Amino acid sequence: MHKIDIELVNMTLDVMKYTIDRISATEPKIGIPRKAEDLKALVGETVTPKGIGGEVAFNLWKEHLMKANVSIDHPRHLAFVPASPTRAAIMFDLVTSASSIHGAYWMEGAGGIFCENEAMKWIVSLTGLPEGAFGVFTSGGTAANLSAMVTAREYWRENDIFKGEKGLIIASIGAHSSIKAMAKVIDVDVLLVDTEDRLLGSNLQATINNLTAHQRKRLFAVVATGGTTNAGIIDDLAGIAVICEKEQLWFHVDAAYGGGALAADSVRHLFNGIEKADSITIDPHKWMFSPYDCGAVIYKIPELAKKAHSQQGSYLDIFKDEGAHGFNPTDYQIQLTRRVRGLPLWFSLAMHGTDRYKEAVERGLELAQIAGRLIQEKPHVELVRNPSLSCVLYRRIGWKPEDYTHWTYENHRKGFALVTPTKWKKGDTFETVSRFCFINPDTTEKDIEMILDSML
Ligand SMILES: Cc1ncc(COP(=O)(O)O)c(C=O)c1O
The pLDDT of residue 4: 95
Fold of 354-453: Aspartate Aminotransferase, domain 1 (3.90.1150)
The residues spanned by each domain of the chain are 1-30+33-69, 101-352, 354-453
Rounded (5°) CA angle 207-212-214: 120
pLDDT at site 196? 81
In tens, the pLDDT along 61-118 reads 999 999 999 999 999 999 999 999 999 999 999 999 999 999 999 999 999 999 999 9
Predicted confidence at residue 248, as pLDDT, reads 98
pLDDT tens by residue, 275-325 = 999 999 999 999 999 999 999 999 999 999 999 999 888 887 777 777 777
Domain 101-352 identical in fold to domain 354-453 = no
**429: phi then psi, degrees, rounded to nearest 5:** -115, 160
Q: How far is CA 129 from the centre of its chain?
A: 20
Question: What is the number of alpha carbons within 13 Å of residue 303 lying toward its C-beta?
Answer: 2
Give the pairing type, strands 279-282 and 250-255. parallel
Measured from the Cα of 295, ligand 1's closest atom is 10
**Which atom of ligand 1 sits closest to the CA of residue 226?**
1
- Comparing CA positions, the residue from 245, 199, 242, 246 lying closest to residue 223 is 199
Contact in structure between 86 and 291 (CB atoms under 8 Å): no
Instruction: Please give the distance, rounded to the nearest whole angstrom, from the Cα atom of residue 370 to the centre of ligand 1.
Output: 25
Ligand 1: which residues within 6 Å by Cβ? 81, 140-142, 145, 176, 178, 225, 229, 254, 256-257, 283, 295
Low-confidence ranges of the chain (pLDDT < 70): none
**Strand partners of residue 232:** none
pLDDT in tens, 178-199: 999 999 999 999 999 998 889 9
- In the DSSP assignment, the letter for residue 28 is -
Q: For a ligand 1 pocket test, name from 81, 283, 420 the mutation site with the most ligand atoms within 8 angstroms of its C-beta.
A: 283
**H/E element, 422:** strand 421-426
What is the residue type of 182? M
**Assigned fold of 101-352:** Aspartate Aminotransferase; domain 2 (3.40.640)
Give the number of the atom of ligand 1 that is nearest the alpha carbon of residue 283. Answer: 10
Contacts of 399 (CB under 8 A, 6+ apart): 407, 455
How far, in Å, from the CA of 323 to the mean position of ligand 1?
38
**Residue 316 has what pLDDT?**
79
What pLDDT shows up at residue 452?
98
pLDDT confidence of residue 428: 86
Nearest to 273 by CA among 220, 232, 222, 231: 222
| DSSP string across 316-380 | GHHHHSGGG-S--GGGGSS-SS---TTHHHHHHHHHH-HHHHHHHHHHHHHHHHHHHHHHHH-TT
- Identity of residue 372: G
Residue 326: its pLDDT value, please?
86
